[in-house]
Structure 1
């Protein structure tokens, strides 16, 4: 009994010593240079995360702010816990995957089911404020005049005025607030932190100046100030009033009542007249139905889809064939200067793709292009619908074959030489060796890369847009779509980013999801048919 007690006391002493040693070790190692560097990096990460959180909450984006809080807490737990060694290496990739892939896809999906676009870029509270503050203003009779200076900061226009014997400055989004500056003889000379507009600036921005309304306070009912001369400001008030109980806008001049319609995202009268500013609402599958049933979009959509598939397939086929031929020629040991030739072959790949497209756009100019001057003819490289498609494939061949040349060269050098020698000993010809030995070995390793190349070319926006903007235009299309447009460039135009059409981000997001599903389905099917998954896993 006594021996057991002694052993128990001894084990307790050893346990206490181990704990003390661990404490000493942790205390001694906790402030090593590596830990200090980690602490500094995590402080920077947390500072950035807190900034994003406060910005999101400040703009009313509670979902984004909440998700950022969870993400920041997760990152802190991973890098300050001793039990998450594997996650320390996986977390950066997971964070970038969530931010740049998962979030983008989810947000695009959300936009696809809304009317987000022209006149519907705001949420409802901001749309109400916009209607009250920026539209339907009239000058208040007998309102005082304010000495005015037109100022700007980072391109944003503002008013600097003398109100209640005090220098104040504000913008369309920021009500008037006291500011420091210089005032002489009742005239504003300068405003600290702001630049005064020159005569040329005033002339160039005249319409913007006349339309600008700067709120007097945070309360829209207090009105705003505006100007018609650029030197004197007057108080303006909105002719609209928002009735919270009826959820309606009332025109104080005419008595018209505009009720909120949560189906269209507008304030509308009973006759159907609406105010110019709306808000985002859920429209269900309307964008998808419009994209495939509205003849304005359906007719060019299917034409563009067919061309898109042909373009992606021909791009992969032509670049692969040319790259493979060149790689096999330069893989022959009898060829001298192979390193120099290989370097030359990679030069088109090293040149920025958008610059290459710009360069060929000039070379293929129908009137002044180098190609036509050299040939002494007038080939419509980019103006004829058929020739433009051929030109796009040829330019993509120039840009894409170095990549195929590079990967085929690597694959050829990984093929065991004894297999090729055995085939030759058995009497196989050069073509039979290539057909039955070299090509199957290449396809085992290159099939996943060819599939990814197809997906890339399916969305090769840079080439299409930079070469000829998707032109020439389709004469029978009521939307701005060209004969060489692919789906992604068509979506870009429908979104209104080129200025050729009114913005319709909801419809563009819906069509982007369709593109995502098409590319994903084709890639998944190709992987399964080629047994690429099994090859990668073995």
Structure 2
């Protein structure tokens, strides 16, 4: 006969179950796993969640106004999820992972997806809005003053800086005395208590607006002349700086033929949905078009259009040469200096290290401008110091050599620091063992030091290559992409793909954001493929020397 003892801290055997501890006070899982919330933590949580709610409400109104219901649903679901996550004691890992994930989506994933979506459109100058915006622009730009056009006293104002802020017209109706404010979006009547009108109907002050004086308006006369304010009967345009007229549009949209008709010449431009423009029978297109999907047309232009593909591929070759040269030369120089200072026989290493990293401590954009002046043909330090007469930025290969030298000076301190840290992590016993075996210093370096060094810094070399492949500042601050051939001002000898796409997007000939986005996708794909291959080889190297 067996006796079962039970008491504090003892366990009893239950048939079909394991031992059950009895007699002890049981704490809830929540109490065991979660520390009590402090007043400071509660305050921080309330402030952050209040900020999230405020941002959500602020973002919801534009989505509702634009009827973007899918975006509104995503916003509401995300906000509700965040409140659930941080108001419950569960999902501790997610509380730390979700903020980083959201920032990754907002600042990395979304820009990439938006760029990719833009690459499949004709978005650019003349193709920014939808079709209704294009129709309004066509009609407004064709407004002319006709006999009997209503004249209005005009004041030019802005809500921003008088020199740069967006302009608006403040006009007074000569019949009713009502004051209205107008911009490219149309007219809106103002409350009479918010404006001050002088004798003759000219507005001298308006609440929330800065009325430009004659001198301020004169400096922006071109913008004032170009500003067109749509109205029900046509559009308002300025006639000097103090008068405006409501003119009549000579070009009007006819929904029956889906075309624009010119009442003076009788010419017709029919809407072409494939290109997002109004096109005449003779092929003429109106400057005001609209944004449409063009499929793979931008990518096809990059690869097949001789005017684009030829400079694209020549720029791509130089882009690889620049990225490899910049990364390789800075690595070799940085490694050489690091090896010299790593020698135990070297004295004053700390002093030398401080001197050598000075280029890395200087603002790169300022140093690039300094180097640009140093390479000046007439008064630059390089030519004057060595007695050269080289037109550094006037010839293709001298300009390319110059930007590589500038990159070498700017980039070697980083490689020097990286190589110094990697060398200090390599045990000296390994190199000493090779010396005991009779290996020369060069053989020891090739057999032991260099392989271990590459294992440590290969990822940084890959990152440096990717950075230099898109090193916009290095080119734009020194050569601005030049020199340019006489027959092509779009792409220069030192242009990288990133500066080439920038010029496509913001060039003087008119912005082509869709085409520039397509070039950016090519850049992204090239860098991604090169990086993936390089990381794969790095992993194999790590397996060999691990």
The alignment's TM-score, normalised by the length of structure 1, stands at 0.88
Contact 2:63–2:72 (CA under 8 A) maintained in structure 1: yes
Question: Where do 1:171-210 residues align within 5 Å?
Answer: 171-179=183-191, 180-186=194-200, 187-210=202-225
Report what 2:536 is aligned to. Answer: 528
**Shift of residue 224 of structure 1?**
3.1
Unaligned runs of 5+ in 2: 1-22
Contact 1:479–1:494 (CA under 8 A) maintained in structure 2: no
Q: Deviations over 1:270-312 (max 9, x none)?
A: 4444332111111111111111211111111111111111111
* C-alpha separation in 2, matches of 1:60 and 1:482: 45
Q: 1:105 aligns with which of 99, 109, 112?
A: 112
Report what 1:94 is aligned to. Answer: 101
**Shift of residue 141 of structure 1?**
4.5
Report what 1:493 is aligned to. Answer: 503
Q: Deviations over 1:16-62 (max 9, x none)?
A: 9978x979x99x95672202111101211332233233334545666
2:473 is the alignment partner of 1:462 = yes
**Shift of residue 140 of structure 1?**
5.9
Report what 2:18 is aligned to. Answer: none
Report what 2:327 is aligned to. Answer: 316
Q: Which moved more, 1:158-167 or 1:385-394?
A: 158-167
* C-alpha separation in 2, matches of 1:31 and 1:131: 63
Q: Which moved more, 1:448-457 or 1:54-63?
A: 54-63
Report what 1:225 is aligned to. Answer: 236
**Shift of residue 244 of structure 1?**
4.4
**Shift of residue 111 of structure 1?**
1.1
**Shift of residue 65 of structure 1?**
4.8
Contact 1:54–1:65 (CA under 8 A) maintained in structure 2: no
* C-alpha separation in 2, matches of 1:494 and 1:427: 60
Q: Deviations over 1:299-329 (max 9, x none)?
A: 1111111111111111111111111111111
**Shift of residue 441 of structure 1?**
0.8
Q: Which moved more, 1:51-60 or 1:180-189?
A: 51-60
Contact 1:124–1:278 (CA under 8 A) maintained in structure 2: yes
Report what 1:167 is aligned to. Answer: 179
* C-alpha separation in 2, matches of 1:172 and 1:482: 37
* C-alpha separation in 2, matches of 1:148 and 1:62: 41
Question: Where do 1:108-257 residues align within 5 Å?
Answer: 108-132=115-139, 134-139=140-145, 141-154=147-160, 155-163=165-173, 164-179=176-191, 180-186=194-200, 187-216=202-231, 221-244=232-255, 246-253=257-264, 256-257=267-268
Say if 1:109 and 1:334 are closer, same or farther in 2 by CA, change over 3 A: same
* C-alpha separation in 2, matches of 1:77 and 1:462: 44
Q: Which moved more, 1:198-207 or 1:248-257?
A: 248-257
Q: 1:512 aligns with which of 520, 524, 545?
A: 520
Say if 1:113 and 1:340 are closer, same or farther in 2 by CA, change over 3 A: same
* C-alpha separation in 2, matches of 1:246 and 1:76: 53
2:425 is the alignment partner of 1:414 = yes
**Shift of residue 167 of structure 1?**
2.9
* C-alpha separation in 2, matches of 1:366 and 1:74: 62
* C-alpha separation in 2, matches of 1:421 and 1:58: 74
Q: CA RMSD in A?
A: 3.0
Unaligned runs of 5+ in 1: 1-13
* C-alpha separation in 1, matches of 2:540 and 2:55: 41
Q: SS at 2:170's partner residue?
A: strand
2:90 is the alignment partner of 1:83 = yes
Report what 2:40 is aligned to. Answer: 33
Q: Deviations over 1:49-85 (max 9, x none)?
A: 3323333454566665554444434433333332221
* C-alpha separation in 1, matches of 2:431 and 2:249: 85
Say if 1:104 and 1:161 are closer, same or farther in 2 by CA, change over 3 A: same
Question: Where do 1:410-449 residues align within 5 Å?
Answer: 410-449=421-460
**Shift of residue 528 of structure 1?**
1.5
Q: SS at 1:342's partner residue?
A: helix
Report what 1:275 is aligned to. Answer: 286
Query: What is the number of equivalent residue pairs in this alignment?
Result: 515
Q: SS at 1:467's partner residue?
A: coil
Contact 1:268–1:274 (CA under 8 A) maintained in structure 2: yes
Contact 1:444–1:532 (CA under 8 A) maintained in structure 2: no
* C-alpha separation in 2, matches of 1:474 and 1:63: 49
* C-alpha separation in 1, matches of 2:82 and 2:197: 52
**Shift of residue 100 of structure 1?**
1.9
Q: Deviations over 1:355-386 (max 9, x none)?
A: 11111001110111111112223122222211
